[in-house]
């Protein structure tokens, strides 16, 4: 349960530290004094949306802490999943900086806002007066039924399938649109691929052709050089090899009588060996032969073909051209598989649709069973709240096609008067009737969900007198199993409090601030009397207030 609330710099609350007790705590005060602001601050600690306007000035930082005493291991599984240290004292803190930046903490460990909301959602239920009006919404009615009937797990599975179905259907529409436009695209791709395939592209071919072109264009000069090279090296009596051989013989003839020439002779011998090797290498060279115009023309034609394709497909070289060819082939294959994609998507959609209908039927069954149990409980509580002739039922009608909420159209049907047929809630219920119906539903849900703490913010709209007294009785009874905090303007409800606080607005140094005061028993009598007759309270009002409180104690 909620054990403590600490607020610093929230709207007109500069600082507040209040201990929250078990049972029914009632908060009263004039309109605008800051009662709902108090709950707004608590909402921050629960993960509600933060706004910079809650800051009293631009330089301040807002901090709100909500302390909860946990039952043994009540949230242990969730804490272990998130890697949080578990302790019986849970401190949820929210900080809002002057720039609007929000930070969330669980026991001083930074956490995401989503996790803060998930954790506090197991601990506290906050009900505002506008929730009474929301009860007229069909979406809200479905949510109420699913929550109380325990259908939320099935509904979550259903919405997951419904989302998958819509995604698959949208993908099918896009794929079919692609199919319509792909025919012409495939035709153009086929033309491009045929052109490139017919070219029989080979990696590095341009370099080879350019070398051949240069050789063919200079065939005569190349052959002349090769012939002259061979002649100079070894093919004539005046070749270098012949002359060096003759010179070596002459040196050998005088080597024995003239030793200094020996080194020169050895070096000349080495030169002759090198020239002989060069001669062998030159002999292995093959020139282009005689000038061949036909062969050169063929090389020119092939190069022109490749140059043209490179330019046409905006490539740098033949390697990039081959890459383009492969890319076009991949694109053509992808377009060719569109029909297969359509077939696969249609099969997927059919499978999801079957699962969706099965889950929708399961959801409908669960809702009908839940409604059957819920209806008599609601009627019984409405009778306790003074609506002795009230009729309430839940219509669950089938839809022709699955919608976002399943195959069901759900209507909360209501009549406050005997002999009047039930009508949709949004058409017939007054503000006071909505308040009582909303309280009845909240009471049933709270008992089922076993929420430790429930907060009611002025849900007593449109009721007074005996009806308000009965509502107070029901809320006090509910507080026997739950901690209840309630803001009210009704003295009949406030009389049922175990603990009562009064909120007032004080002006100091041209600034308004909220102040909250714990009321002693005598102070409670005065506060209720003021609520009955105004300030100052009359003797009759004081007597009436004391009587209300004493009646509750009996």
Which of 119-123, 182-186, 192-196, 540-544 is predicted least confidently? Answer: 182-186
HSE of 83 in the Cβ direction (CA atoms, 13 Å)? 4
pLDDT at 345 over 80: yes
pLDDT of residue 450: 73
* Contact by Cβ (8 Å): 106, 81: no
Mean pLDDT of 136-144: 85
Nearest in space to 460 (alpha carbons), one of 481, 477, 442: 442
pLDDT of residue 237: 67
* Contact by Cβ (8 Å): 486, 499: no
157-210 tens-digit pLDDT:
999 999 999 999 999 998 888 777 777 787 888 888 888 989 888 888 888 887
Nearest in space to 278 (alpha carbons), one of 219, 223, 234, 222: 234
Place of tokens 């003295």: 491
Mean pLDDT of 291-296: 74
239-252 tens-digit pLDDT:
777 788 888 888 88
pLDDT band at 287 (very low <50, low <70, confident <90, very high): low
Q: At what angle do helices 338-384 and 431-449 cross, to 10 degrees?
A: 110
Nearest in space to 416 (alpha carbons), one of 430, 404, 398: 430
pLDDT at 369 over 90: yes
pLDDT of residue 527: 93
pLDDT of residue 356: 95
Dist CA 145 CA 411 (whole Å):
10
Dist CA 359 CA 39 (whole Å):
39
105 beta partners: 93, 110
Which of 128-137, 157-166, 202-211, 261-270 is predicted least confidently? Answer: 128-137
Considering just the CA atoms, what is the radius of gyration of the chain in Å?
Answer: 47
CATH (residue range 2-135+434-519):
3.40.50.300
| pTM for this prediction | 0.65
pLDDT of residue 348: 95
Instruction: Please give the full DSSP string across 345-402, using - where no structure is assigned.
Output: HHHHHHHHHHHHHHHHHHHHHHHHHHHHHHHHHHHHHHHHTT-TT-EEEEEEEEEEEE
493-522 tens-digit pLDDT:
999 999 999 998 888 777 888 888 999 999
pLDDT of residue 518: 92
443-485 tens-digit pLDDT:
888 777 677 888 888 887 778 888 889 989 989 988 888 899 9
Q: Where are the domains positioned within the chain?
A: 2-135+434-519, 183-336
Could you tell me the strand order of the sheet in which 62-69 lies?
Answer: 13-19, 2-10, 62-69, 89-96, 102-106, 109-111
pLDDT-above-70 percentage for the chain: 92
Dist CA 234 CA 412 (whole Å):
115
pLDDT band at 405 (very low <50, low <70, confident <90, very high): very high
| Cα–Cα distance list, 193 to 188, 201, 214, 317, 325 (Å) | 9, 12, 31, 18, 7
Nearest in space to 468 (alpha carbons), one of 430, 439, 507: 439
């Amino acid at each position: 349960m909620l054990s403590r609330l600490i607020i610093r710099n929230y709207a007109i609350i500069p600082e507040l530290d209040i201990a929250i007790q078990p049972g029914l705590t009632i908060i009263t005060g004039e309109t605008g004094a800051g009662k709902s602001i108090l709950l707004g601050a608590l909402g921050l600690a629960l993960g509600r949306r933060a706004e910079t306007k809650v800051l009293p000035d631009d330089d301040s930082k807002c901090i709100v802490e909500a302390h909860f005493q946990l039952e043994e291991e009540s949230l242990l599984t969730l804490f272990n999943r998130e890697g949080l240290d578990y302790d019986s004292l849970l401190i949820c803190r929210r900080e809002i900086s002057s720039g609007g930046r929000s930070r969330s903490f669980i026991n001083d460990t930074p956490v995401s806002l989503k996790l803060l909301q998930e954790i506090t959602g197991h601990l506290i239920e906050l009900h505002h007066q506008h929730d009474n009006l929301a009860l007229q919404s069909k979406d809200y009615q479905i949510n109420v039924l699913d929550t109380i009937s325990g259908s939320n797990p099935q509904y979550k599975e259903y919405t997951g399938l419904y989302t998958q179905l819509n995604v698959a259907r949208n993908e099918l529409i896009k794929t079919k649109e692609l199919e319509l436009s792909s025919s012409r695209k495939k035709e153009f791709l086929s033309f491009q691929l045929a052109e490139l395939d017919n070219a029989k592209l080979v990696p590095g071919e341009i370099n080879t052709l350019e070398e051949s072109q240069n050789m063919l264009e200079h065939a005569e000069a190349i052959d002349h050089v090769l012939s002259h090279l061979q002649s100079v090296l070894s093919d004539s009596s005046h070749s270098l090899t012949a002359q060096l051989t003759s010179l070596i013989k002459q040196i050998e003839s005088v080597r024995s009588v003239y030793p200094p020439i020996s080194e020169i002779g050895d070096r000349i011998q080495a030169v002759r060996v090198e020239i002989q090797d060069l001669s062998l290498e030159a002999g292995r060279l093959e020139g282009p032969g005689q000038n061949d115009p036909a062969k050169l023309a063929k090389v020119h034609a092939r190069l022109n073909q490749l140059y043209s394709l490179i330019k046409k497909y905006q490539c740098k070289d033949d390697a990039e051209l081959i890459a383009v060819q492969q890319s076009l082939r991949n694109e053509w294959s992808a377009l060719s598989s569109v029909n297969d994609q359509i077939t696969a998507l249609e099969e997927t959609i059919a499978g999801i649709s079957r699962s969706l209908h099965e889950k929708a039927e399961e959801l409908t069954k669960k809702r009908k069973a839940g409604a059957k149990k819920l209806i008599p409980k609601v009627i019984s509580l409405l009778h306790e709240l003074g609506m002795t002739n009230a009729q309430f039922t839940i219509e669950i009608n089938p839809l022709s096609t699955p919608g976002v909420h399943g195959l069901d159209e759900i209507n909360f049907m209501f009549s406050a008067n005997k002999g009047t047929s039930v009508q949709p809630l949004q058409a017939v219920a007054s503000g006071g009737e909505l308040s009582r119906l909303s309280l009845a539903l909240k009471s049933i849900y709270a008992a089922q969900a076993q929420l430790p703490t429930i907060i009611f913010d002025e849900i007593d709209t449109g009721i007074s007198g005996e009806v308000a007294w009965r509502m107070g009785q029901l809320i006090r009874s509910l507080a026997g199993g739950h901690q209840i905090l309630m803001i009210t303007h009704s003295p009949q409800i406030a009389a049922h409090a175990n603990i009562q606080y009064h909120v007032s607005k004080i002006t100091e140094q041209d600034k308004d601030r909220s102040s909250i005061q714990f009321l002693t028993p005598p102070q409670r009598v005065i506060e209720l009397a003021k609520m009955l007759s105004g300030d100052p309270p009359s003797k009759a009002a004081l007597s009436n207030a004391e009587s209300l409180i004493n009646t509750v104690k009996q």
